[in-house]
Amino acid sequence: MTSKPAAAAAQATVYGYPRQGANRELKKAIEGYWKGRVTADALRATAAELRTANWRQLATAGVHEVPTGDFSYYDHVLDTTVMVGAVPARHRAAVAADALDGYFAMARGTQDVAPLEMTKWFDTNYHYLVPELGPDTVFTANSAKQVAELKEALALGIAARPVLVGPVTYLLLAKPAPGVAADFEPLTLLDRLLPVYAEVLADLRAAGAEWVQLDEPALVQDRTPAELNAAARAYRDLGSLTDRPKLLAASYFDRLGDALPVLAKAPIDGLALDFTDAAAANLDALAAAGGLPGKRLIAGVVNGRNIWINDFEKSLATLGTLLGLADRVDVAASCSLLHVPIDATAERDIDPQILRWLAFAKQKTTEIATLAKGLSQGTDTISAELAANRADLASRAGSAITHDPAVRARAAAVTDADGRRSQPYADRAVAQRSHLKLPLLPTTTIGSFPQTTELRTARADLRAGRIDTAGYEQRIENEIREVISFQEKTGIDVLVHGEPERNDMVQYFAEQLTGYLATQHGWVQSYGTRYVRPPVLAGDISRPEPMTVRWTSYANSLTERPVKGMLTGPVTMLAWSFVRDDQPLGDTARQVALALRDEVNDLEAAGTSVIQVDEPALRETLPLRAADHAAYLNWATESFRLTTSGVRPETQIHTHMCYAEFGDIVQAIDDLDADVISLEAARSHMQVARELAAHGYPREAGPGVYDIHSPRVPSAEEAAELLRTGLDAIPAERLWVNPDCGLKTRGWPETQTSLENLVAAARTVRGELPAS
């Protein structure tokens, strides 16, 4: 394929870049600041060094216009809350006293003040802090961060484009503040918010911004006519400003749908659209809307959410089509590169053949620059890159790793009966109560206990050869004994072994399943300073041998109380991995489910009576458009049932979900047919309990009473009050008492006190129940 150069030189750009640094320098500096070991000035210096390094790397790779404002100490939505002056009343004194400490207090809370609620950023595994707004909210502009970071980039001689969360998305992501009526709609504040954005835009123009990008990913979701009208009004008003830079509205993660003509007709200067497979409909929709005559189009043709190499010829064909639809076409990733690791070349343990298939953020910027060059100067100028790309794509397509006949035959033989328990829930519940003999309001935890320095040191010592396997396993046994002993003394009813052997709830299993690859440096931000290393799901999946039976059985040998077996479910295994893109997700999920089914059955055979299969990603993976929900939920719930349906009626199946909006998937939660579900509820004040009740959810549930994403320790009375609220929605015979999530990231002292308070709360409320 040979193409002629574009009439106007296409530029390469990105919407955002990983914040943490090659060695997670930002995480270390922030956590050092929290512990008093790093000064505020030293933290700011580290942050500035990381921003500079990112911008220089992008410029060196051939990116013509770098993003600014995407960097964050914790979360870019929280940064927007600060920018528009929407600090909650309970945090204003702290922010006024010290802006940095007040910022972290909003994110993490303090012992006396609750943090902002946290939930998933669209259908990703990134978490944002939810703005709290009400009819009395007063917005005030504070552009200091955005202006300062723009000036930093410009001072380096690098062309830069500030990136802001757009006003419509900001309001659509917000929730009513505590004490505000639940039916309050933050979008009604749009006319109050737009003048603040106008002021910020003027400040950025004065600081040297030629372009400013306003991200509006909320518009790729189904939107009402009123919401679309609000978007039209917002960009009419902002576009009509006289003192402003050029405005670029950006969307990503899915097709823009009815919002595309709204933004295309707005008096702004350009659009940035996703043109990867998930949003391929944007191309036809843009043509139907008449294109963008006289405007700039940034085409997101490189997948910013996955780590597979781009198909250059396919992308160039898309770009060639787009040339006739806009005055200027530039090339970008489909979204911020925040969602991928930094550099694939740092991975020394991955087979070089497979490494050819991978592109992390650094490689994606090179791909974008290559495509921009090919579009601008003609494909003859990138002939070597095209040839190498074809060879790499062919290598992957023909690899034995991606095709295991035995795995595919087993998946093809699955029947509907394989995904159904042998008895209905009502009968199972009777058998389980007789077998487990638990009290009303039984207490448990979600699975993990604090990952101490000693545990991390033990893993490092094993990798470095400083201890042998026997020495490492002795340390794990010691930790399990301590965790079991603490839970027994505290009075917890259903125990866990604490997962000391696990580095991550997905990676641990991925390292033991065929078809998965683990990275050493593939860190991606989940929230704040919490980074994960998503494994790479590269081929067909099977389980060579048991993965968890050894440690669960050991824990069971230490106590007479039930100990939960702990697994990560098939949907979460996909969602928190970089999943293969060469077959339908449902096919991959079925393979993972069958591997996990073998593990569930082995746990039961070894004497485990309670088995938890976590699916925290079920909601986050829900497609952004309602038209796509049914197909996804069909394979997602089927894969969970396939994992769990091979056990006896008296074996109790638990699942867990956290930090998402559950109201629109309650039917899917019901369809999982788990005996018990535990859910995040502390920050949302038991909202999910009310949602379950409104649905008529018939099984047992544990809405969390302890927010584990904050260092604050809830009092026994605070937990008891949440529990009483839960009882308003869920009867005592079906209500469990548990934290919101696993305790891996917490310290031992706060964990011990919090769980003691949780058990005390359960006993108090249990004593308040009417005699049966």
Q: Can you tell me the distance from the alpha carbon of 292 to that of 33, in angstroms, rounded to the nearest whole number?
A: 47
Beta bridge partners of 119: 128
526 closest CA partner among 118, 91, 13, 67: 118
What angle do the packed helices 40-61 and 25-34 form, to 10 degrees?
A: 170
Q: Can you tell me the distance from the alpha carbon of 546 to that of 183, in angstroms, rounded to the nearest whole number?
A: 49
542 closest CA partner among 642, 410, 396, 355: 410
Residue position matching structure tokens 């917890």: 492
CB–CB of 312/370 below 8 Å? yes
Dihedral sign, Cα of residue 464, residue 470, residue 476, residue 478: negative
CB–CB of 266/236 below 8 Å? yes
Q: Can you tell me the distance from the alpha carbon of 363 to that of 348, in angstroms, rounded to the nearest whole number?
A: 16
CB–CB of 382/62 below 8 Å? no
14 closest CA partner among 272, 398, 195: 272
Name the residues annotated as catalytic.
709
SS3 call for 749: helix
CA angle 330, 332, 335 (to 5 degrees): 140
Q: Can you tell me the distance from the alpha carbon of 250 to that of 273, in angstroms, rounded to the nearest whole number?
A: 6
Residue 9 tokens read as 């030189």
Q: What is the 3-state secondary structure (H, E, C) of 222-275?
A: CCCHHHHHHHHHHHHHHHCCCCCCEEEEECCCCCCCCHHHHHHHCCCCEEEEEC
* Number of residues in the chain: 772
What angle do the packed helices 585-605 and 629-644 form, to 10 degrees?
A: 20
Q: Can you tell me the distance from the alpha carbon of 103 to that of 82, in angstroms, rounded to the nearest whole number?
A: 8
DSSP tag of 31: H
Q: Can you tell me the distance from the alpha carbon of 102 to that of 620, in angstroms, rounded to the nearest whole number?
A: 29
320 closest CA partner among 273, 257, 371: 371
Strands (E), 673-726: 676-679, 700-703
DSSP tag of 505: T
Q: Can you tell me the distance from the alpha carbon of 654 to that of 564, in angstroms, rounded to the nearest whole number?
A: 9
341: Cβ contacts below 8 Å, ≥ 6 apart: 18, 307, 360, 361, 519, 521, 522, 523, 524, 533
Identify the helix (H) or strand (E) that includes residue 387: helix 383-397
